[in-house]
Structure 1
């Protein structure tokens, strides 16, 4: 197991960040390759115009990514004033089991603390059970009153952690 670092994504990496993110969701069976959401996940350059992109990388390349959004911004779903939100957490299938997802979430928590946010929030599909275990281990709690349905039959479950 090699070491990796978490850092802001570089503009030259945006195509690879997008491809990694979409591929991780497709590999988990959460979306199809041709879904509209797959195209949104693949467009990291557009996300970077409205959000912060962090990556986990080692000497061989990118291992994972996460998108950090402010309340009221283009990619925010449930963040309220004083909260930071993260979305599109993805670990390359070949990098799973190395702590990449946890390192990315911890970097989001560090970012929240440095910006003075009082809490971090996120939404997740029911099928993302391994992510839910990670969130619980880090201290996130379910916030069912903030669950929402972006389209009929697709419920997103809300989680929150006070910083």
Structure 2
């Protein structure tokens, strides 16, 4: 990670930036999703994850360069997750800031929060189309647990890491 990047908690004033980051990060996958307009509409509301989760922002200078949402154990999640597991959702990095270690730093912060919450396990779901994120998660010790329902035609699976 660049020395100028800072990991911090989300502020409501970050909503627009987080939504733009999600759209920019996923734009490269637009051809893989069978219903890109529906996927795009969901991505445009990424900041709403702050209503039940903790959004964490990676900031370079005075701008958001990446973000991720962390959901504590016991918070309602999709049925394909164990409800007692903390989960990582919507890790996004601005395409211009890729390769700076922001995704790793944001994921590490989620792992630290799971440890703070005394969780024995943390989970996420991702897809083989995520050719940068998936190998990063595997290198960080996540392993495939089971398949998850596809999202707009794209296969997904649940990955977990013992803490």
The TM-score normalised by the length of structure 2 is: 0.87
CA RMSD, aligned part only? 2.3
Q: Are the equivalent residues in 2 in contact too, given 1:78–1:122 (CA < 8 A)?
A: no
Partner of 1:102: 104
Partner of 1:17: 18
> 1:70 Cα deviation (Å)?
3.7
Provide structure 2 residue ranges, at least 5 long, that are not aligned to the other structure: none
- Which whole-Å CA distance do the structure 2 matches of 1:33 and 1:155 have between them? 14
Q: Are the equivalent residues in 2 in contact too, given 1:64–1:100 (CA < 8 A)?
A: yes
Aligned residues: 161
Higher mean C-alpha displacement, 47-56 vs 75-84:
75-84
Q: Does residue 154 in structure 1 map to residue 154 in structure 2?
A: yes
Larger RCO (alpha carbons 8 Å, 6+ apart): 2
Cα 1:162/1:23, change in 2 over 3 Å: same
> 1:37 Cα deviation (Å)?
2.1
The SS at the match of 2:132 is helix
Partner of 1:63: 65
